[in-house]
Amino acid sequence: MNRELCEISRTALIYFFETYSESTVIYLELPDTPNWKALDNYFYLGDVQVIDDTSVRADLGYSWSVSLTPSKVEIGSDLFDLTISGTDLHLESSTIHRVYREGWVRFFVIPNTDITNAARDAHGTNLRELQSEISDGED
């Protein structure tokens, strides 16, 4: 089951960044990020790897990476956010290394702007299909 969750996490990250990264800033939040202070480092998605069938590691560019052992993947109903929950969560860059025994990482874009609506409508088909598959799997 964990290999499957890793693959879903990997695919969700790819689809989310394919949908939005060309047109808008993608923000990142962690459990201890204040609501008003999401990280917006102009992340882009480099390589996303499944490691030992148990964890996912995503290169976010500019020396940033996130890794975790996923337990749940959620795509917001409006497709403007992606949350991956799990254990052994690491956010790393050349200057920081945050570690969470349990936690979540949330990627999101500013909802309902002309730009994000257009990006979702033009490029969100794969993300919407994956969202449906995830929802069907929870039933």
Domain that includes residue 77, residue range: 2-130
Sheet holding 97-108, edge to edge: 27-29, 97-108, 81-92, 64-75, 55-61, 48-51
- The type of residue at 70 is P
Q: Is the pTM of this model over 0.85?
A: yes
* pLDDT of 31: 87
In a domain, 135, yes or no: no
Residue 131's pLDDT band (cuts 50, 70, 90): very high
Residue 17's pLDDT band (cuts 50, 70, 90): very high
In a domain, 136, yes or no: no
* Number of structural domains the chain divides into: 1
Is the Cα dihedral 11, 14, 17, 22 positive or negative? negative
With residue 102 as reference, give the H or E element that holds it.
strand 97-108
Residue 49's pLDDT band (cuts 50, 70, 90): very high
In a domain, 79, yes or no: yes
Query: What is the Cα–Cα distance from 18 to 1, expressed in whole angstroms?
Result: 26
In a domain, 139, yes or no: no
